Amino acid sequence: PVASKVPKKYQLHDSKHGQVYLHGAESVSHGTQYVLYASIFGHYRNEDRDISETLKPLSRFDVDRVLFTDSTAIGDIPGWNVVHIPTGDGVNGIPAARVRIKELKFQGHELLKKYRFRIHVDTKEKAVLMLNQSLTNGLLDYVRCHPSKGLFLRKHPVRNKIQQEVNVLKNMPDLQPRLPLDQWDTVLTVLYSTLNKVQLTENNLFVLDTHQIDLVKRWASISDTLKKHGLWRDQIVYSYAIADVQDKVEHIDPKAKMTCPEANDPANGPLNDGPRGVWNWTGMESEQPHMVPIMTDGNLSNAGEHRNPVASKVPKKYQLHDSKHGQVYLHGAESVSHGTQYVLYASIFGHYRNEDRDISETLKPLSRFDVDRVLFTDSTAIGDIPGWNVVHIPTGDGVNGIPAARVRIKELKFQGHELLKKYRFRIHVDTKEKAVLMLNQSLTNGLLDYVRCHPSKGLFLRKHPVRNKIQQEVNVLKNMPDLQPRLPLDQWDTVLTVLYSTLNKVQLTENNLFVLDTHQIDLVKRWASISDTLKKHGLWRDQIVYSYAIADVQDKVEHIDPKAKMTCPEANDPANGPLNDGPRGVWNWTGMESEQPHMVPIMTDGNLSNAGEHRNPVASKVP
């Protein structure tokens, strides 16, 4: 970040009651990606009496430092930007000072937006000394060493489950009023079996990587949930907010050394200055400082992890060609692999809707598209289907009142199968003729071009043709017990009651055909969770779980219209080449039978700025 003064609207130096007290009247900016911040409001814990001394140990670390406060008694603190903002108002029984502190803690402030990594500490002396110890022991090196993680904080020193924390607070009304706590306990009752698996944390110090967008949204939601339910203590909301992204959390021990294995290797350069392959500024005063690329996360080996599938036979455990009841029927006894990143798949189990009677004819329209095709089934009546890999797997068991066939279909639909792992883009279609014809129309109208044109999106599917809110869908199903038994539906409705105000803002979708980009990891996890949620709650219909699962990643969803032309603006420009054949700068195989086929580079996405990100792009000018 450029070393500049704090924005004018925070500069009122003519009065000790002005908004910003700056050391030397200048922003103390070290040009790093890190900012350390804390806050004091309403004489909270009376820390403002000796705050300068309390924060003094942290002034030696080469990061920018900001203290937010409403206290006019706090003036200049050497090495810190002291920013004065109003206390604000109390909310839902929560004191105003506590509301403001939680907002800053979990949602940050506009002055922090330019920084990638936010280091927060409570202003209690114990927390400050613990952060001092953590930074001394290499916390920022540790952050750099864990690029897949986005939140670094301590485990709770005494308890490990949210339910334990709730129960303890029932006897501490000074820390958490009882009535809203009991109401919150009721909300959590049906969720404890899941949330108790999330490690309870001590949130008085943390590092947050703001590039982990989904995690940041969940983290920020803690403040909103506290206010909505009149809760004072963030520990009793943490597990609720973070459950689905807990794989992004790394627990730290302030007393332990936290260094990178390679940190002392001179060949690696100043690793602690520029984590995760980001840009570091060397020019401090200029508006457009010189950029120096420093350190990737070292993971260039995954260049072809999800793309460039080798044209090979299906794994041996699926090859039992000596019997019509064997597991795989392959067209020509070979995998029909076109060497693309796309796979189209469908499934039939338990004579579901009786599609297996004429499935070959039903799927026939889709055989003309140049993608790999897989049909999963338990039906021994289905043999060879030209152009398709027919994969036989067991039906499995029913779960929580859901028929076995439906369970298996939903698992495959939302979680895929190991045979699909090598593909980046999964195209799924229900085997009902209407859905197949609709996908045929979508592909004919340029769906895969459309996917290529929207690299920021990860899920492409239709809006629901009749309803647009999850609550509407739930209410309609209450009168359709053949589609969804009533008892589990009513229980699910109770779970959703406190969430409808949020979930009804998510567009309801028709999930009978979709394209999923498996590189959108957080979205893929949310999508996969639909199957787990259905099984857990005995639900049959995925539409009544979709909004619940996808709410925080709905910006990754693109709604499509199968009847509309879906082409890239540049698709018809001959100078751009065959865009539809090689989306997003991937490699296409031309040698189909060899174990290491010849590679032909085709079309980048125009973004050569990420030249070394995963691959070696063609040395050519950008279109």
Measured CA to CA, the distance from residue 87 to residue 592 in angstroms comes to 67
Q: Provide the CB-side half-sphere exposure for 38 (13 A, CA).
A: 24
Residue 228 has pLDDT above 60, yes or no: yes
pLDDT above 90: residue 197: yes
pLDDT surpasses 90 at 231: yes
Give me the phi and psi of 250, to 5 degrees please.
-120, 125
Given a cut of 90, is residue 320 above it in pLDDT?
Answer: no
Is the pLDDT score of 13 beyond 60? no
Give the model's pLDDT for residue 580.
Answer: 35
The structure tokens 């290797």 sit at 265
pLDDT at 292 over 70: no
Three-class secondary structure of residue 94 per DSSP = strand
Distance between CA atoms of residues 239 and 268, nearest Å: 37
Confidence (pLDDT) at 45: 54
Q: Where are the alpha helices (DSSP H) in 309-372?
A: 359-363
Pairing of strands 328-330, 389-392: antiparallel
Query: Higher model confidence: residue 288 or residue 142?
Result: 142
Domain ranges in the chain with CATH number 3.90.550: 8-155+202-229+245-260, 316-559
Cα-only R_g, the chain: 28
pLDDT number for residue 74:
86
Average pLDDT, rounded, for the chain: 77
The pLDDT of residue 620: 35
Read off the DSSP letter of residue 418: G
The confidence score (pLDDT) of residue 570 equals 53
Give the pLDDT mean for 560-586: 57
* Of residues 272 and 38, more confidently modeled: 38
pTM: predicted TM-score of the whole model, two decimal places: 0.45
**Per CATH, domain 316-559 is 3.90.550:** yes
CB of 272 closer than 8 Å to CB of 278: no
**Residue 14 carries which side chain, given as an amino acid letter?**
D
Q: Provide the CATH topology of domain 8-155+202-229+245-260.
A: Spore Coat Polysaccharide Biosynthesis Protein SpsA; Chain A (3.90.550)
Mean pLDDT is lowest, of 34-38, 59-63, 542-546, 587-591, for: 587-591
Give 490-531 pLDDT, tens digit per residue. Answer: 999 999 999 999 999 999 999 999 999 999 999 999 999 999
Query: What is the identity of the amino acid at 297?
Result: D
Ranges of beta strands (E only) in 349-453 are: 372-377, 389-392, 425-429
Question: Average of pLDDT values for 393-416?
Answer: 94
Q: What is the model's pLDDT at position 618?
A: 35
Which is more confidently placed, 599 or 467? 467
At 62, the pLDDT band (50, 70, 90 cuts) reads confident
Choose between 588 and 115: higher pLDDT: 115
Q: How confident is residue 370, by pLDDT bands cut at 50, 70 and 90?
A: confident
The DSSP symbol for 504 reads T
Between β-strands 34-40 and 64-69, what pairing exists: parallel, antiparallel or unpaired? parallel
* Position 587 pLDDT exceeds 80: no
DSSP conformation class of 26: S
Average pLDDT over residues 25-49: 68
From the list 438, 325, 311, 285, the residue with the least C-alpha distance to 372 is: 311
Q: Given pLDDT bands bounded at 50, 70 and 90, which one contains residue 174?
A: confident
pLDDT per position as a tens digit, 97-134: 999 999 999 999 999 998 999 999 999 999 999 999 99
Cα 32 to Cα 137, 141, 587, distances in angstroms:
19, 14, 37
User: What per-residue string of b and e applies to 441-478 under the rule 16 or more CB within 10 Å gives b?
Assistant: bbbebbbbbbbbbbeebbbbbbebeebebbbebbebbe
Whole-number Cα distances in Å, 577 to 222, 446, 509, 580, 602: 48, 16, 34, 9, 9
pLDDT, tens digit (0-9, with 9 covering 90-100), for 325-365: 333 433 332 344 445 689 999 999 986 555 556 888 899 99
* Residue 385 pLDDT > 70: yes
Residues composing the chain: 623
Contact 230, 177 (CB under 8 A): yes
Q: Using 50, 70 and 90 to split pLDDT, how confident is the model at 44?
A: low
CA distance 28 to 61: 12
What separation in angstroms does the CA of 146 have from each of 119, 209, 258, 259, 297?
A: 16, 11, 11, 11, 9
pLDDT over 90 percentage in the chain: 61
Task: Determine the Cα–Cα distance for residues 29 and 35; give it in Å rounded to an integer.
Answer: 9
Task: Extract the tokens encoding 447.
Answer: 């769906």
